[in-house]
Amino acid sequence: MRAHSEQPNIALMNGNVLTLDGAQPYADTVLIRRRRIGWVGERRNLSAAALSAAKIIDCGGRTVVPGFIDAHCHILAYAASLEAVDCSPSAVADIEDILREIRRVAKVTPRGDWIRATGYSDYDLSEKRHPTRRELDDASPHHPVRLNHRSGHACVLNSLALERVGIGSDTEEPPGGTIARDIEDGEPDGLLLEMADWLDGRIPRMNEGRLHEVVSQASRIFLSQGVTCVVDATPSNSLDRWKSLLRKRRERNLIPSLHMMPAADRIDDFLSAG
């Protein structure tokens, strides 16, 4: 790899650099200028003049690798999950744990406001099943509650949430979606499968100021894990969402480079926009 003709502004030195280049698999120095890699090689092959204008970072022998690509993520959903009630397997062991966490948040949430919880896994709960609307009602009867499964393909709503989104005993299932029902009376039991897109237009969105904060937080987490490129694979991706995420990139609200998989029924919109 050859030196860049202009001076870099950062020098990563004394590192175990894994280049992923078969011709030069290892190095100990990386020069960066204007946030782009300009040179990778051995320190002994670098002149003192090349380092004169650079900020030097001593890697202390630590491993340095190219940035990771998250090839399938859901940026806005992940960002929103950062302020939701954590019901992941590391946080809860059973349904009662989930209900306890929801009760805790309900105590400090204004009556009628939505409570969002996320990350539960029926397979990891001791009961080996999904919670029901009635159980969520017991935890928070005066707040609409949405509890998202960790897969992103299921969620459970309590009775007030079902009412708010317009799901009742006679509600027809949307194409591709499933409304689970009580085997005795046919009433919805709260579990919804493959209905995230349907719900998106019926549950209030996070306000723009708060969204800005959680996207910034998500961006910092991506970078802290070495992820420098993200590919948003949300099934409902539209041209408007693409423009919104691009705006967040321009504002440095979202730092990793960005790619998007368009929704199947929105591809023509993207093609028309060039």
Answer yes or no: do 61 and 128 share one domain: no
Same domain, yes or no: 124 and 182:
yes
What residues pair up with 118 in beta bridges, in sequence order? 86, 148
Domain boundary among 200, 227, 261: 200
> How far is the CA of 47 from the CAs of 42, 43, 52, in angstroms?
11, 8, 9
| Residue 252 structure tokens | 């440095």
96 has pLDDT over 80: yes
In this prediction, residue 5 carries a pLDDT of: 45
How many independent structural domains does the chain possess?
3
Residues 124, 92: Cα–Cα separation, whole Å? 9
Position 171 confidence tier, pLDDT thresholds 50, 70, 90: very high
pTM greater than 0.85 (yes/no)? no
Residues 52 and 143 in one domain: no
* pLDDT value at 33 more than 90: no
d(CA 78, CA 204): 17
215 and 134 in a single domain? The answer is no
Other beta carbons within 10 angstroms of residue 211's beta carbon come to 17
Angle at 114 between CA 142 and CA 253, to 5 degrees: 160
The pairing of beta strand 115-120 with beta strand 10-13: unpaired
pLDDT, mean of residues 174-192: 95
- Is 188 contained in some domain? yes
The verdict on residue 246 lying in a domain is yes
Secondary structure of the chain as H, E, C letters = CCCCCCCCCEEEECCEEECCCCCCCEECEEEEECCEEEEEECHHHCCHHHHCCCEEEECCCCEECCCEEEEEECHHHHHHHCCCEECCCCCCCCHHHHHHHHHHHHCCCCCCCCEEEEEECCCCCCCCCCCCHHHHHHHCCCCCEEEEECCCCEEEECHHHHHHHCCCCCCCCCCCCEEEECCCCCCEEEEEECCHHHHHCCCCCCCHHHHHHHHHHHHHHHHHCCEEEEEECCCCCCHHHHHHHHHHHHCCCCCCEEEECCCHHHHHHHHHHC
CATH number at residue 57: 2.30.40.10
Q: Which domain holds residue 223?
A: 206-273
Please tell me the least confidently modeled range out of 31-35, 105-109, 118-122, 159-163: 31-35
CA 239 from centre of chain: 19
Residue 48's pLDDT is 82
- Domain endpoint, select from 200, 235, 256: 200
Structure tokens at 137: 């009602």
Domain boundary, last residue among 182, 200, 218? 200
Mean pLDDT of 227-250: 96
Chain segment 198-226, per-residue pLDDT in tens? 998 899 988 889 999 999 999 999 999 99
